[in-house]
Amino acid sequence: MKISNNIRLSLLTGVLTGIIISLIDVLSKIIVWSFEWFELYLIILTTLIITTTLFLIFGITIEIVKKIMKINNEKIRIIYFSVSITFIILFYMIVIINQLLIPGGIPNKENTLIIPSNILTLIFSIILFIIIIFSPLTKKIIKKMVNKKTKTIIHNFIFFIIIFIFSCYTIDIYLQEQIPTHVSTIDKEQPNIIFITLDTLRADHLGTYGYEKNTTPFIDEIANQSILFENAISTSSWTLPSHTSMFTGKYLSEHNVTLQNQYVSKNEILLHEILHDMGYATAGFIGGTYCKNKYGIAQGIEYYNDRISLFSGEHTFDKLNLKRTINLILSIFITNFEQTDNIILRQVYNFAIVSNKIFNTLLFSNAERNSEQINNYLFKWLDNNKNEKFYLFINYFDVHEPYNLGKKYRDIFTDDEYDYSKNATIENIEKYVNIRKTSYDAEIRYLDDNIQLLFNKLENLEILNNTLIILVSDHGEEFYDHSAFGHGNTLYEEVIHVPLIIYYPQKIQPNRISERVSIVDLYPTILELLNQTYNKENINGKSLIPLMNNSENFNERAIFSELFGRWNYGVSTQQAIYEKEWKYTNVTPENLFLSKVNSSLFNLELDPKELNNLIQENITLKNELQTILNNFGN
């Protein structure tokens, strides 16, 4: 067998293995009806790329071994067949075992069964491979597969798959470039509305909120012409429920979008729907996964541009997906061997880190698209619809991890030269925090530049002066403020104190408002600015117009924030209440392995960084606030 024939056989085996796995994945998505149409061809394409690459590497190895051990052609066919069958069985065994052991798909060190179970699965697969390779049945199957009729069927089927992928890809690219023109029917005197969410942006990292670094020169300039709320509180510390609150005027206890229920009910009346019914042309441009239409957040929006990347099929049914399973296995190694002192396990950890980075960089990075990419589509839409009255929802995702943008700005915030991936280590926590903050700040500056380009575009189109623009964040980010990183695990100020700026100089006098408000208040505020009626009894939000007009008719009330965790993920259920200077957070159960928080009571006037838990010294106050929480949502 020539080397070209050996490689051809390895590629053919990889293609057939990939087709079997991908078609089962496609069928599972169709059965549970959880997919976006382009996923169907992309699943096949990405799976084929993975399996073909793996078998090509295996084929090169076989070629080397063949020359040493004098393996004949028949034995090579048996090896390829045995490896293919074993690979498929191993894949589904890993899927089943890890679905049972990791029901949420997030590995953690607390589960001591994960590593042994996967090792046992691998050992079983090796035994299975030996059984298959020496089975008389294997020779019979291969003999049937190599006859001319069977080979013709296989080649024609592969050709059909290739045509299917190419046709879908061509249609997909065409559809992505189509920007529609809408017709609005609302009174031309009404303003355009642009609702911008700055995903993951904590308030204390903006210059206009007192940050010492120059992260937001343009937003600071806009804030001076706007209403700025100094103490705006998000309803949760992650994207989907917070956005749902903004667009329904309701807390999580009311709209019920949580970690357990990641979908906005069709019974909810979203802000988008009201504005669409008023006659606005409506459109959305999305940077992050959890604002995609699949979560029900786009109800009422005519054109929703939420295709984050070519391979953007994240968060639909993917339990039988090869890509997800490989990522899961790599994550298991990374999570469990991160702090090991064992030399061999440390090498396994390093291999997993490098493999994960290469794997996701080359093919499957679909967690975000940046503001520059969003603006590319957005500006085309504005060119087509500048003469209509429109409502735009824009979700800029730049500030969210990974910190891969704004590199040219990093020297503004630090004099150190570093490689983020190598120099950031837990062993040097202070350096690690500073590096993350510097990268975060550079992302903010990058976003600030692109927001300026948006304002410039609106000005060039001569529509800025009659456009109401809301700038708000859905949640912040932790930088070891309370011994953790990220968001979605706690309700500390760093993750729920968010910037809120309303720009409408034609009708609103600039002002800074210190009263504490909630993002649920945006829903009634926008509708009242448009003189649109709504059912006040069905929402939790309260119009901020009295505050904006310096009226004394605004009575401060308790503000809430909630995080309904999944305990098996390590995230506890948390409810926070703000009452005057006090903030009480009830945590159930306490000190889970991911949240790592307990119930707390802080005096934010004296302790804005929440460092001194006063819950034991103020049991009476704690009980009073707990009573309010118990009645909240009932």
CB 275 within 8 Å of CB 282: yes
Using DSSP's 3-state secondary structure scheme, residue 629 falls into helix
Q: Report, as an integer, the average pLDDT of 510-536.
A: 95
* Residue range 620-629, pLDDT digits in tens: 999 999 999 9
DSSP at 363: I
Using DSSP's 3-state secondary structure scheme, residue 388 falls into coil
CB 198 within 8 Å of CB 219: no
- What's CA 252's distance to the chain center, in Å? 19
Using DSSP's 3-state secondary structure scheme, residue 497 falls into strand
Report which of residues 221 and 178 the model is more confident about.
221
d(CA 449, CA 217): 9
List the structure tokens of 301: 């929006």
% of the chain exceeding 70 in pLDDT: 87
* Residue range 4-31, pLDDT digits in tens: 688 888 999 999 999 999 999 999 888 8
pTM of structure: 0.84
H-type alpha helices, 399-503: 410-413, 420-423, 429-460, 493-496
* Residue range 316-341, pLDDT digits in tens: 666 777 777 777 777 777 666 666 67
d(CA 274, CA 265): 16
Positive or negative torsion for Cα 520, 522, 527, 531: positive
- Tracing tokens 């089962």 back to the chain, one arrives at 24
Residues ≥6 apart with Cβ < 8 Å to 240: 257, 262, 290, 291, 295, 297
Q: What does the angle CA 510 – CA 396 – CA 499 come to, to the nearest 5 degrees?
A: 35
First and final CA of the chain: distance in angstroms? 75
Confidence at residue 421, expressed as pLDDT on a 0 to 100 scale: 47
Which helix (H) or strand (E) segment is 317 a member of?
A: none
Peptide bond into 116 cis (omega under 30): no
d(CA 366, CA 248): 28
- Tell which residue, 207, 188, 190, has the closest CA to residue 501: 207
Is residue 416 predicted with pLDDT exceeding 70? no
Give me the residues paired with residue 497 across strands. Answer: 233
Report which of residues 174 and 110 the model is more confident about.
174
